[in-house]
Structure 1
Amino acid sequence: MPASYHKGQVYECVSNDPSDLQSRPQHQHSRSQRLGFVRILVLSLGTVVIVAVVTFLGFLWWGAIASVNEGDRPSSHILRRILGSGWLLRSITISSLVYRVVAGAQTAAATEMIASIFLEGNGCLLPDLARLSLTRCQTAGPFQLAFTAPRQLHDSGNLFTSGLLVALLIASVVTQFTSTILLTDLSAARLVNDPSTLNVAFGFKYPSSEDANSSTNLFNPYAGVDYWTSRPSSYLRFAEISAPPVQGDGVYDTGAIARAFLPFNNSTQRATLRSYEGPATVIDARVICTRPRLSIHTINLTDVYMLSLGDSVSIHGEYEGLDTTYSDPSSFACMVDVGKVSDRPLQQRISLCPMDSTPAFIKGGVRPDLSSYTKAYLFINATSGFENWRENGLGGNEPVTILESHRTSQSQGPWQSLGLNGAPNTGIDATLCFANPIPWDYKISAASSQDGFEPTLQWNITAGTYRSNAVRSLLGSTLAPVPSLERGLLKLASPGNWNTADASIAFNTPDTINYIWTALRTQSYNVSLSLSKRENGDDLPLLVPHRAHIGLFQEILAHTDSNAALAMQALFFTLLQMSYSDYTAEFDVSAKASASFSQDVIIPVQWRGFILFCTIVGIHIALVTAIMVTFFLRTRVTALGNAWQAVGQAVEVAGGETVYRAVDREESSPAIEAHGSDEGPPSKRQRGFIARQACEYCRQKKTRCDEDFPCGLCKSLGLQCKFTQRKATRNEASLGMIVNILRRIEGKIDDSKPHESNPTEHRSIATALRPFNPRSPANSSEVLGVPSFLRHETIDSPAAPTDPNPAISFSAHQVLFWPAIQSALPESVKLMCQMQGGTYSTRLEASRPKLPHATSVDISSDWLSKLSIATLKQLSDVYFTTFNLANPILDQKTYFQRTLGVAIDGNFGICIESCIVLIVMALGSMGQKALQEAGFSGTPASSPYVGQDADMPGLDFFNEARKRFGFLMCEQDLQACQFYLLSGLFYAEALRPIDWWAMLSKASACSAYFWNNLSRDRDEWMLDMQSRLFWITISSEAIERGEVLMFEDPTADYPPGPVEDELIRQLEQWRERLPPMLQFDPKSPLTQAESPSDALVTAWLHARYFVARYHIGRPLLHRALERPASLTEGHLRKCRDAISAVLAWASVIQVTDTMRSCNPLKFFVCSQIFGQICVIYALSVSPYPYIRAIVSDVNKKWTNFALNYLEAGAFSSPAIEQDFKIAKILCEDIGKI
């Protein structure tokens, strides 16, 4: 066993003097003394609390799941209070918190026991003796021993104790997630709350002559009442009790049906109502329809597509539900809408005719004593249209003889069918229906086991009809009866005798009167109603209800085999329901009612999370119990919580002198030297070697250090190894010397190689020198997509002769000097070309004046310090809304959080942040003008100190930035590269391509400096920003250069057709794989910008596509001019496609031109337009008709656009001005084609 290992005897002394080693008595404590009162209380009472928490949560889970499975109503009142009042989540959170607190206290006590087991069991390392001893009196949990326990595994006897600690550590971690585990069982459900007492208004006070000023006498219920022509907002939920329908020979009875209106204005209350006991208005919804006996002697066909019928009607046979004691024939006069044969959609031409008198009365029902209020209604359906009636002798106002009964055999159910003599398919069907709603206020009791709904009629656009399934189901308008509860209604309890349930008696309220029966009245007395969809009119002798009523009526007839009783029941009940809902706001009689509603609550719906929680609790209790049993078996003298004992035992074991020497050392450093074992103190070892490169701890211990990092001793003790000044080891020094020798030998071998004698092959690798000696993009041999500063290339040696003033030859300008184009040019243009030369664009741009340096005269010298923060932020926001969209040079978050603040705090002093902010202000001024041009923003900068140049906004800001950057021109970091690129944008916007190229060259050098000297401490943000600048630089270089220059083969001919097809295929594949929001149809490119991103990003994406199509076809256009005889039909088609791409590109460029002041590519666009004009001109004047046909689609509109664009740029660029002069002459001839 190592000398620095404590064997586990707590009172065993380790001392410097072996004579001090003696046996001391070991006082053993009882179990209660070893635990202490506080720990006993935590372990015993805490377990009771944990069991109580589990029991309480189990009660909640059981009650909630049972309520969901058994009817949405918890059986326990306590559960209803907890689940319904929103206390469930709070109860779960509080319960889990109590458990975590108690479990944490028990875990702390168990950790103290584990520390005692380590000390008194198999022992521990002496460096950990103090920590373990003090852990017995106070601890925060098992995490305190997480790094101590692994070091005690030198003795295999500590494996079990360490396993207990690991299990306790895992249990402690899992305990923190108990709330989350319990919440996984929760989900949304609906529960019914306890009944509550409400004050509901249910009716009108009966008018009294004694109180002339009462609200009832002042209220006119008949004013503005016409529910026939109004649309119901929805079909309201109600309570119902019904008997089965009865169907006999020639009769259909819906059965006794009582329906109660729910006295709630709120739709949610009606839909969630589960039980109700209180006052309500009840109607008798029973309808009986019988087959009538018609006596019709005259019939007229009017010129408004209607039949005029009149005579008498009587009941055919007897029915026990009708009282026919006083049955006499009743007269009627009815107008029937026959419509036209061609009417669509086809529907029954049916009319409702109120009777002057009632031939029978409904027996029974809600109020048998009021059966005399029964009303009779005659439904007449015309079986054919106006044309057929007129063909059979009807017309004008001439009467016709009585209808013959040739259709009598076709009579079915309650319908009587009659037809014309000789025309059996032209006739009428009639049925006689009875209803007695008698609305009255009663005390009702209704309940439901589920929530209801209030549907609306939905229009089916395809079929041209209403979707009425939900409404018909709610109203019970189906042939097969459906119970009320299954239709989402409340089941109304039958009081036995409705007379005794009168609301005025039950609630001791004034007598009430119901005006809802007025809903069945029309504006004219006994007027007929057309229940087919025809137009209404003031001069019509019949009323046309609202199309929603007609649609529902027709839908019920269509789905119930023309059951008029169900259709009339639904129609009348809807009208009464509309009336009740309308009058609710004026009710002045109220009473107490009891109602319960369902509500959405979050409750447990499964047991899985709770079972997992119980498993965690069980593991915790079992683990604490196992640790406590082990503690009692393996310890004797420990008293948990006794701080003096913990300190005293640690001092006695380690020795007082050792403890004293450890005071000034780190707690993790072992303060005990190896002094001996059970057999006595070891002999002193001679120090044979002291390491020259020892770590600090080995120097303090005066022990040999193996010079590793970390050294062996520090690694074994788990200490941090530190070297004061670590020098290279002998191995490292030898290796370095060998490497240096190899490098010198390698250099000598390179120097001894013979030099090439051929000067044309004298080349050198210039990868590193390229960014510091940038070449003109016109003379570069770079391939698009590969940056100039990261590619190996060959350059001429310094001995080779070079042109001291290389020209920037833009490819679009070189089109003018194609031999075929030169031969076709007018003499005036040829003279211009000879005078200006082939590099006139470079020469003109290089000789133009520099940007003015003076500040605007209308601003003061200290105008920057007077800028408001609002102005700075406004212009910054404009920059990020415009220029930074297509060229994300700056990170917006970093700019606003750091760059802008540094510039403002330094009062725009000489620093790179001030330069960046000033150039952003300059670009923001340009962007503001661009937004105003496009109509996206009309608010200028608010500061009065900003000098605004109408031709070049932001020039003052730019000049200030240039002044400051003069002191920073040698910077090569990220911000310097950003400044160069931002300055390049300003120059490009000002149409100064030479200055733009100069800025790009400097930005290229900065980017090369970074990527060629990549440091190890780089971060993701820096790499992302440098990558942005990298691609912006190379893409700008490619655009500035104007063409893709590759290896030139003097023997190469035009590209073969498969190459062109492959390029087009790849371009189309790129377009098709764009994100969905960016995909576009080439046949319908973007024509209007709705936002800045459309003009600055989306439009340029489309433009790049079309200009790429043109560039792919440009070699064929050259071939068409140089070798017209070699063209095939396929070649001509591709040439026409290239010209079509030019026209489409022009339409997209017009979209970008809406923000002309934010278009850094204006010079590129002008160059492209100029080159396109040259090509189109040469094709248009070709002597070959098929060549001229290539540009047949080019019109005056395109030439006007091209000239206008060049003219706008000519004011700012001498090169474009010269292009415009040439293009103006050429377009005159193009316009003649």
Structure 2
Amino acid sequence: MAQVDQYSEKLVPNVHETERNVAPSPPPTMQKPRRFWEKLGLYNMAVLLLGTVAVAIALAFLFFIWGAATHGRQRSFPALWFSIVEKKWATRVVTLSSVLIRIATAAQLGVFAAILAALILEQVGVATEDLPLVSMIRCLNSGPHSLALSVANSFFTKALFPYSLLIVLAIFNAFALQFTSTILLTDFGDTRIVMEFQHDNITFGLNRNVSTGVNPQGINTYGGLDYWKTGPASYQRFAEFKEDGSQTEDFVDTGKTLRGFPPFRNDSQRNLLRDYSGPMTVVDTRVICVRPTVSNVTVDVDPIQDDPTINGRFSWKTSVPNLEANKADQEKGFEINCTVPTAGNYNVTKDWQISSCFIGVDVARLLGGIISDDRNADYPLGHTSANLLLNATGNWRDWEKAFSNDTRMEQTETSKPLWTHFTRSNVTIDFSLCFVNPLPASYEVEVSSDRDGLDLGILWNSKTASFNTSLVRHMYGTTKATIEERRQLQLKNKSNWTTSGVDRVWNITTEEFIWNTLSRYDYASVHSSDPMAGVGVGLTTMFTSGALPDYSVHRIHAAIFQDIIKRTGNPAVAFQTLTTILLQMAYYDFLSEYDVTAPAKWQASATLNIPNQWKAFGVVLGLLVVHFTLVITAIRLFLARTEMSLLGNAWQAVSQVVSADTAGVLHEGATTTDREVKGTMKQSGVADGRIRIAKSVTSGRMEATAVRQRYGATYSAPVGQV
């Protein structure tokens, strides 16, 4: 008897004749034509249809999460999405959607495996030892991995290779889809999202009894800290509306600069604020500084006094926009009686010896303020305060020596704009006159920002033995940065601020006590024996490290003022920054004691873990495209190339295995293991054969048939025989 391995394998698409040593069978019966749903099976069709719907639903929900996250970063998102991410359910939704995708695709891959099993059995054939398993796969829907071992030995066979490739691709794709949730979550990251509007009453100020003019609770807003001598714990974010300023050789105008203080005590509430509509205290921090005309300058160096005093008279050119002079006194000028900021015994060569001397509120009137500054008998020009800045050189001994015989100083030309220069011997002094009128009041405002803010602090640089004020200077607008770049809130300007006052909108009267912050107690007039000390001398504020306690300010205030004026040469900007800081300190110091409320709404940002890119989503979408391409390709091949497989039918799967070609193996397999059967088949050479499902000419059955080619002729014989 010849051995089976003497014959080379040939794949035969249809078997019409076989040479066998068996009696002819009865003529075949006619097979009933099957429709596609009968071939696929109702269960498999339901799996394919419902699985596709499930994947579509999961993808739609995932697309909703990703798409809304993209819009959410631009302040536009659906309420459902916001509810999900606010409760931190976004990752849970992704996990549940991923589970749905995995279940649906796994079920469909079971149908895919059944289809490929049918195609392989009818078109190519399988090794004899794999026939029972591959046949049963058609009704088990076990997945493509169950076919892996069956095609492994003949992967590169020409006829089997396309199907093997589909199986391998499906296995790897299915493996990747098992990590759908992990893949998708790589798109997630902490992202700043503007939350929905909150509506609530907010406390913003102290009530003022209109009839008595005081706070009903009796809160003493005049006692406590001297904010000039106290450094803030942090520099709070504020809202700002600013118009362009102007500058010439004779004056500098910061432009209208309205700054509002958000009524939130918690720094995170201020810094996360993106939109706010409600009550807020607003101040007008516009500062105009002019070059004064100074005359009759004399210096008094009294050994009893700690610092020299300077006397004289000043006026200025009246053609300054937005500044109305006191014309009645402008011709004769205004009196100067201020303390000279000498260096004392300290070495302050790195700083300017600069001070601010308060002149009064009857010198001029700032125009174009936030509201009209009412005049009255006590304030004929309103509340605009005039401050004379003095910048000197030389220590106390230099001044004593220079004015030991003569008290007069002479004016000389200077290249510095805004300053009037005087000199004598080796000491000099420069004058610049600044005006400010903050007019603090509470209004109904609207503010917004496209980014979070930041409360800042000042760091000490031990190497240079100085404060690093760069961030604070940037924050308060001393650079050319925009409001957005400074991360401040944008205050919306109003055509008429008066009608937006809280007294008009909510019939609330507040006590604008923070104005008192800018006034200083006259320490020097109390402690000095000089009878002239009370005439303005005690109202001198020095921004030098060597200043005596009566005149000094907190070292941080001095550092900020010094850094601004040294870097910009602009006294108006330096004075504006200091004014804002002092008003802020007073406002937030009393915030916990405020007793008037009004309705407000605001939006704040929050850090949410949401999708911030589409890369992983695209990867999963690509895997699903591959999945459905494989499934659709398999279905089309199945409907076009198979005739004898009805998926999901176990009796057919078993019946088609039974034939004369497999009778011997089936007989032995009834009482043995698969391993024992395979061992017997290898010993007999049967394992080298290939079996396919074909229509028997003799019996008319669809059954397992061994296919061989011998000397160019097709030959099918019982397994183990020739």
Q: Where does residue 276 of structure 1 map in the other structure?
A: 276
Return the alpha-carbon distance in structure 2 between the equivalents of residues 450 and 702 of structure 1: 75
The alpha-carbon distance between structure 1 residues 654 and 362, as it changes in their structure 2 partners (threshold 3 A), is same
Residue 346, structure 1, aligned to residue 346, structure 2 = no
Q: Where does residue 1171 of structure 1 map in the other structure?
A: none
Q: Where does residue 482 of structure 2 map in the other structure?
A: 483
Q: How does 1:296-695 map to 2 (within 5 A)?
A: 296=296, 298-303=298-303, 306-328=307-329, 329-340=333-344, 343-370=347-374, 372-394=382-404, 400-405=406-411, 407=412, 409-410=413-414, 412-420=416-424, 423=425, 425-478=426-479, 481-506=480-505, 508=506, 510-524=508-522, 527-534=539-546, 536-537=548-549, 542-561=550-569, 563-651=570-658, 659=666, 661-670=668-677
The alpha-carbon distance between structure 1 residues 453 and 155, as it changes in their structure 2 partners (threshold 3 A), is closer
> Helix, strand or coil for the counterpart of 1:194?
coil
Return the alpha-carbon distance in structure 2 between the equivalents of residues 529 and 154 of structure 1: 94
Shift of 1:153: 6.2
Shift of 1:550: 0.4
Shift of 1:157: 3.3
Return the alpha-carbon distance in structure 2 between the equivalents of residues 43 and 219 of structure 1: 76
| Candidates 162, 165, 170, aligned match of 2:164 | 162
The runs of 5 or more residues in structure 1 that have no matched partner are 672-696, 705-711, 718-1233
| TM-superposition CA deviations, 1:1120-1170 (whole Å, max 9, x none) | xxxxxxxxxxxxxxxxxxxxxxxxxxxxxxxxxxxxxxxxxxxxxxxxxxx
Return the alpha-carbon distance in structure 1 between the equivalents of residues 43 and 165 of structure 2: 26
Return the alpha-carbon distance in structure 1 between the equivalents of residues 25 and 204 of structure 2: 101
Does structure 1 conserve the Cα–Cα contact (< 8 Å) formed by 2:39 and 2:646? yes
Return the alpha-carbon distance in structure 1 between the equivalents of residues 245 and 321 of structure 2: 13
Q: How does 1:884-1033 map to 2 (within 5 A)?
A: none
Structure with greater contact order relative to length (CA < 8 Å, sep ≥ 6): 2
Q: Where does residue 718 of structure 2 map in the other structure?
A: none
Return the alpha-carbon distance in structure 1 between the equivalents of residues 14 and 112 of structure 2: 20
Shift of 1:21: 5.8
The alpha-carbon distance between structure 1 residues 532 and 657, as it changes in their structure 2 partners (threshold 3 A), is same
The alpha-carbon distance between structure 1 residues 327 and 133, as it changes in their structure 2 partners (threshold 3 A), is farther
Residue 46, structure 1, aligned to residue 51, structure 2 = yes
The one-letter code matched in structure 1 to 2:574 is A
| TM-superposition CA deviations, 1:318-373 (whole Å, max 9, x none) | 42322224542444432223114871443211222112452111112101234601
> Helix, strand or coil for the counterpart of 1:157?
coil
The alpha-carbon distance between structure 1 residues 260 and 31, as it changes in their structure 2 partners (threshold 3 A), is same
Stretch moving more, 80-89 or 625-634? 80-89
Return the alpha-carbon distance in structure 1 between the equivalents of residues 121 and 335 of structure 2: 114
> Helix, strand or coil for the counterpart of 1:597?
strand
The alpha-carbon distance between structure 1 residues 569 and 452, as it changes in their structure 2 partners (threshold 3 A), is same
Q: Where does residue 252 of structure 2 map in the other structure?
A: 252
Q: Where does residue 143 of structure 2 map in the other structure?
A: 141
Shift of 1:556: 0.7
Return the alpha-carbon distance in structure 2 between the equivalents of residues 20 and 518 of structure 1: 121
> Helix, strand or coil for the counterpart of 1:109?
helix
Shift of 1:548: 0.2
The one-letter code matched in structure 1 to 2:51 is G
The alpha-carbon distance between structure 1 residues 519 and 636, as it changes in their structure 2 partners (threshold 3 A), is same
Return the alpha-carbon distance in structure 2 between the equivalents of residues 380 and 296 of structure 1: 16
Does structure 2 conserve the Cα–Cα contact (< 8 Å) formed by 1:484 and 1:490? yes
Return the alpha-carbon distance in structure 2 between the equivalents of residues 633 and 249 of structure 1: 93
> Helix, strand or coil for the counterpart of 2:450?
coil
Q: Where does residue 938 of structure 1 map in the other structure?
A: none
> Helix, strand or coil for the counterpart of 2:354?
strand
Which structure has the greater CA radius of gyration?
1
Shift of 1:23: 5.7
The one-letter code matched in structure 2 to 1:308 is T
The alpha-carbon distance between structure 1 residues 23 and 351, as it changes in their structure 2 partners (threshold 3 A), is same
Does structure 2 conserve the Cα–Cα contact (< 8 Å) formed by 1:10 and 1:653? no
Does structure 2 conserve the Cα–Cα contact (< 8 Å) formed by 1:287 and 1:568? yes
Does structure 2 conserve the Cα–Cα contact (< 8 Å) formed by 1:468 and 1:555? yes
Return the alpha-carbon distance in structure 1 between the equivalents of residues 613 and 204 of structure 2: 43
Stretch moving more, 344-353 or 517-526? 517-526
Shift of 1:449: 1.9
Does structure 1 conserve the Cα–Cα contact (< 8 Å) formed by 2:348 and 2:544? no
Does structure 2 conserve the Cα–Cα contact (< 8 Å) formed by 1:291 and 1:315? yes
Does structure 2 conserve the Cα–Cα contact (< 8 Å) formed by 1:11 and 1:24? no
Q: Where does residue 808 of structure 1 map in the other structure?
A: none
The one-letter code matched in structure 2 to 1:485 is E
Return the alpha-carbon distance in structure 2 between the equivalents of residues 180 and 113 of structure 1: 30
Return the alpha-carbon distance in structure 1 between the equivalents of residues 677 and 656 of structure 2: 17
Shift of 1:58: 4.4
Return the alpha-carbon distance in structure 1 between the equivalents of residues 687 and 46 of structure 2: 43
Does structure 2 conserve the Cα–Cα contact (< 8 Å) formed by 1:296 and 1:309? no
The one-letter code matched in structure 2 to 1:195 is F
Return the alpha-carbon distance in structure 2 between the equivalents of residues 21 and 10 of structure 1: 18
Does structure 2 conserve the Cα–Cα contact (< 8 Å) formed by 1:259 and 1:283? yes
The alpha-carbon distance between structure 1 residues 588 and 21, as it changes in their structure 2 partners (threshold 3 A), is farther
**Alignment: residue pair count:** 659
Does structure 2 conserve the Cα–Cα contact (< 8 Å) formed by 1:250 and 1:290? yes
Q: Where does residue 266 of structure 1 map in the other structure?
A: 266
The one-letter code matched in structure 1 to 2:49 is S
Return the alpha-carbon distance in structure 1 between the equivalents of residues 210 and 372 of structure 2: 27
The one-letter code matched in structure 1 to 2:202 is V
Return the alpha-carbon distance in structure 2 between the equivalents of residues 402 and 616 of structure 1: 91
Q: Where does residue 929 of structure 1 map in the other structure?
A: none
Return the alpha-carbon distance in structure 2 between the equivalents of residues 210 and 56 of structure 1: 63
Does structure 1 conserve the Cα–Cα contact (< 8 Å) formed by 2:318 and 2:325? no
Greater share of helix: 1
The one-letter code matched in structure 1 to 2:373 is D
TM-score, structure 2 as length reference:
0.82
> Helix, strand or coil for the counterpart of 1:513?
coil
The alpha-carbon distance between structure 1 residues 649 and 415, as it changes in their structure 2 partners (threshold 3 A), is same
The one-letter code matched in structure 2 to 1:30 is R
| Candidates 126, 134, 137, aligned match of 1:132 | 134
Does structure 2 conserve the Cα–Cα contact (< 8 Å) formed by 1:345 and 1:464? no
The alpha-carbon distance between structure 1 residues 636 and 46, as it changes in their structure 2 partners (threshold 3 A), is same
> Helix, strand or coil for the counterpart of 2:453?
coil
The one-letter code matched in structure 1 to 2:245 is P
Return the alpha-carbon distance in structure 1 between the equivalents of residues 109 and 34 of structure 2: 22
The one-letter code matched in structure 2 to 1:102 is A
Return the alpha-carbon distance in structure 2 between the equivalents of residues 444 and 192 of structure 1: 20
> Helix, strand or coil for the counterpart of 1:337?
coil
Does structure 2 conserve the Cα–Cα contact (< 8 Å) formed by 1:127 and 1:668? no
> Helix, strand or coil for the counterpart of 1:632?
helix
Return the alpha-carbon distance in structure 2 between the equivalents of residues 588 and 17 of structure 1: 111
Percent identity of equivalent pairs: 30
The alpha-carbon distance between structure 1 residues 356 and 366, as it changes in their structure 2 partners (threshold 3 A), is closer
Does structure 2 conserve the Cα–Cα contact (< 8 Å) formed by 1:204 and 1:587? yes
Return the alpha-carbon distance in structure 1 between the equivalents of residues 649 and 682 of structure 2: 38
